[in-house]
Amino acid sequence: MKQKDIPTVSAEDFAELFVKNPDLLHESPWIVSGYIQEWPGYRRWQDVDYLEQRLGHLSAFAKAPNFITNRNDGLVSVETDFARYLGYIRAPDRAKELFEGRWLEGSYDEFVQRGLPLYCGTLRFVHTATDPAFEEFRPLVPAPIETWNHALPYYYSLFNHLWLLVSLPGSLTPLHVDNNGTIALIAQLQGRKRATLYSPAHHRHVHNPAVGYMDPEHPNREDFPTCDEAVAWTADLTEGQVLFVGTGWAHHVRTIERSISVSFDFVDRSNIAAYARSPDWSSVLGARVKSRPDIFVDKLAGALTRGQVESLSAVEVGRLAMTAILKASIASSGSEDARIRQLYLDHLEDDGLRGAA
């Protein structure tokens, strides 16, 4: 299997490259260094005691591996709180005691047999674009990237887009493609992770619809007969570095040293069309509308009927609801937010016309 090193650049060099090519994040992965050290919370969020004080009360799920993307794999999981999970991070040999009676899938014995550390990869600690936690991570992206998340209605309500990831050596996030057509970043605050990525053009070599995604560490050539034609982009991500993953890039991440990372998904000019096309947010919004039809039908003032809510798919209902929400909000938005929402709306309506054709 062919390999390429993920390019590593300074924030200053990245800015020059981005000005010349605003689509560069989709053409290859990048590691950018030298800007997250400016975060107000950079040192605090490296401290496990601080994280427990700040977020320990939150409910959490920990799994081994983080999730499954191949039908032949399995996992074990526990339901816990983040403070208890951090207790496990400090003392992994206390897993049996800490998670007694908390196993959701599998058991302690299966966990030991599997040989993978538990990984809390879904902790949700922000719910709006104005959450004070964002102030800890300014700037989340290096200049001159301008994120549009704040202008997208329901963006932080429908999905989690900011994660804190604390993991032990060996923890695994298997190969997958992110939801919603977003661009992702992984900012490494402590420790080391190993990343392997494949471009959308090579997706067919590492994904089998009948099986799922390939394991880059142990490729099964029977299930993935053309995997040797894929190019694997690889790098070790170390403290102070940020990995950027473009829309549609499959990525696999293994923790090498005890690690603390912050991950963030965003939309900008380069991927607003991909976000608008995504069935992910629209299916979640549609399901929400279907669960409370009277509230939404009344709120949208005739733009969506009860009959449509009942007869159309969740994706279709979600897209219709978002179209109405955008039209209503554009008139009341500031000029920049209105411009972003109008572009979002244009892509939604354009895709709707293409679907009708």
pLDDT in tens, 4-25: 999 999 999 999 999 999 999 9
- Residue labelled with tokens 């320990």: 56
> Average pLDDT of 213-220?
98
Q: Is pLDDT at 355 greater than 80 in this prediction?
A: no
Q: What is the pLDDT of residues 336-348, one digit of tens each?
A: 999 999 999 999 9
Strands (E), 82-210: 103-105, 162-167, 172-176, 183-198, 207-208
Question: Using an 8 Å Cβ cutoff, are 120 and 66 in contact?
Answer: no
Amino acid occupying residue 88: Y
Q: Is pLDDT at 357 greater than 50 in this prediction?
A: no
> Average pLDDT of 102-128?
96
316 Cβ neighbours under 8 A, 6+ residues apart = 282, 286, 308
The predicted structure's pLDDT at residue 352? 60
The predicted structure's pLDDT at residue 301? 85
Question: Using an 8 Å Cβ cutoff, are 246 and 197 in contact?
Answer: no
84: enclosing H helix or E strand? helix 82-90
∠ CA(112), CA(117), CA(122), 5° rounding? Answer: 130
The predicted structure's pLDDT at residue 302? 82
Question: Using an 8 Å Cβ cutoff, are 232 and 3 in contact?
Answer: yes
What tokens appear for 241 in the block? 């570095």
Residue 220 has φ and ψ, to the nearest 5°, of: -100, 105
The predicted structure's pLDDT at residue 171? 98
Question: Using an 8 Å Cβ cutoff, are 68 and 75 in contact?
Answer: yes
Q: Is pLDDT at 332 greater than 80 in this prediction?
A: no
Q: Is pLDDT at 136 greater than 90 in this prediction?
A: yes
Task: Specify the DSSP class assigned to residue 46.
Answer: G
Walk me through the domains of the chain, giving residue ranges and CATH numbers. 2-56+119-266 (2.60.120.650), 278-356 (no CATH)
Q: What is the pLDDT of residues 290-317, one digit of tens each?
A: 999 999 999 998 899 999 999 999 999 9
> Average pLDDT of 74-103?
98
Residue 119 has φ and ψ, to the nearest 5°, of: -140, 120
- CA separation for the pair 254, 236 (Å, rounded): 9
Residue 257 has φ and ψ, to the nearest 5°, of: -125, 155
345 Cβ neighbours under 8 A, 6+ residues apart = 323, 326, 327, 330
- CA separation for the pair 186, 190 (Å, rounded): 12
Rounded to 10°, the helix 314-330/335-356 angle is: 150
- CA separation for the pair 213, 330 (Å, rounded): 40
Cis before 139? omega within 30: yes
Q: What is the pLDDT of residues 248-297, one digit of tens each?
A: 999 999 999 999 999 999 999 999 999 999 999 999 999 999 999 999 99
Which of 222, 218, 220, 266 has the alpha carbon at shortest distance from 242? 266
CA 171 to chain centre: 17
234 Cβ neighbours under 8 A, 6+ residues apart = 3, 4, 5, 6, 194, 195, 196, 197
Longest dimension (CA), the chain: 60
130 Cβ neighbours under 8 A, 6+ residues apart = 150
- Band (pLDDT 50/70/90 cuts) for residue 351 is confident
Read off the pTM: 0.96
Which of 247, 272, 270 has the alpha carbon at shortest distance from 348? 272
